Amino acid sequence: MSFEKIDGYRDELVSLRRDFHRHPELAFEERRTAGRVAELLRSYGYEVHTGLADTGVVGVLRAGAASGDAAGRCRTIGLRADMDALPIEELNQFDHRSSHPGKMHACGHDGHTTMLLGAARYLAETRRFDGCVVLIFQPAEENGGGAQVMIEQGLFERFPVDAVYGMHNMPGMPLGDFALRSGPMLAAVDIFEAAVICRGGHAAMPHLAEDAVLVACQVVQAWQGIVSRNVDPLASAVVSTTCIHGGEASNVLPERVVLRGCVRTFDEPVQALVEERMRRLGTAIAEASGMRFELDYRRTYPATVNHAAQSERFADAAAEVGERVERELPPIMGSEDFSFMLRARPGAFLMAGQGEGAGLHTPYYDFNDDLLTLGAKLWARLVERELPLGR
């Protein structure tokens, strides 16, 4: 087992990754990125398909006997990388910083895309596997639900896969280390917007008006008791109110105060409990003060739940190319829309250490280029293990 070829790609991969970083594109706007991905895949010899979820790209490569089963279909695995950036103003000053104000690759999707392209080139040049590889370059992972859109538009009907795999970088984990777990690994995320509505008035005459700000604060405090007093202590949940807005003047009691935030859970019964308690508490507290309460609660990404067999296979492949593999990673309260793919097909999601540096979703983040070849090697090794020659 040798991946010297991938080591030889390093300079090109670094250049490509930094080019993606300079030109970040938000959810469903990844036209330049998708065009470059499609162009490279075609140059490697892939069958390329575009248009799923508008800016999604799928590359297909067959190798070996690939004779297929009785229905004429060979064993197939899918590998997924996300392409979109975040609406964050980059504060880095290096040469490859974002050239688009208010947009940056603050989560490493530029690196994820590049790692999979590195593996794509290697697989096309060596073809040391027997079967079919489907490379999924997905738009809109950040809040856009691009995975769900691709699935709804026929991803797995057009490209049936026996298993699907995803990977994400993790700042703070040593470079060369990998981590995952079987079962729930990343949380579901729900977002909410609530409103306390009342009869406002002059701040100097509160007895002639109603104070929605006071009641909104009471609601936020009450919600914090849901996890500590309603959720099983052995389960996990987070309720975060991240935005409070009401009024424009210092001497006016506003008629409406808006609360926004998110909820993180792993289990659907807990998810339902939190939503029900948020609605009931908000309504009761507002009505006790003669006010009205509204709640728009939306379930976005489900929990990312790894399948046992695919988790072991992914971990075994990682052990052959990395330094250390943590197979019982504690669950993480962050979320991923790769969860939709794991609901549709067996598979697993893995975290790849990228060493010390700024955290994800911060204006000083940058992907570690030393991870590019290592990630490409992991993808290549996974394919060769899953689709071995001479079966």
C-alpha separations of 39 from 36, 50, 376 in Å: 5, 11, 19
CB neighbour list of residue 322: distance below 8 Å, 6 or more residues apart: 176, 177, 178, 374, 378
pLDDT for res 143: 84
Q: How many CB atoms lie within 10 A of CB 12?
A: 14
| Fold type of domain 188-301 | Alpha-Beta Plaits (3.30.70)
Per-residue model confidence (pLDDT) at position 73: 72
What pLDDT sits at residue 71? 45
Name the residue type at position 41: L
Indicate the domain borders of the chain.
Answer: 4-186+303-386, 188-301
Say which residues have a Cβ less than 8 Å from residue 153's Cβ, sequence separation at least 6: 52, 53
Average pLDDT for runs of 10 along the chain of length 391? 89 98 98 98 98 98 70 84 98 98 98 98 97 98 95 98 98 98 97 97 95 98 97 95 96 97 96 98 98 97 98 98 97 96 98 97 98 98 94 60
Cα torsion angle, 65, 68, 73, 77, sign: negative
Task: Pick 4-186+303-386's CATH classification: 3.10.129.10, 3.40.50.1100, 3.40.50.620, 3.40.630.10.
Answer: 3.40.630.10
Domains 4-186+303-386 and 188-301 share a fold: no
264 to 188, 240, 347, 379: CA distances (angstroms): 6, 9, 22, 30
Contact 386/310 with Cβ under 8 angstroms?
no
- According to the 3-state scheme, what is the secondary structure of 226-237? HHHHCCCCCCCE
Q: Which residues pair with 138 in a beta bridge?
A: 82
User: Can you list the positions of beta strands (E) in 88-209?
Assistant: 131-138, 163-170, 177-179, 183-186, 188-197, 201-202
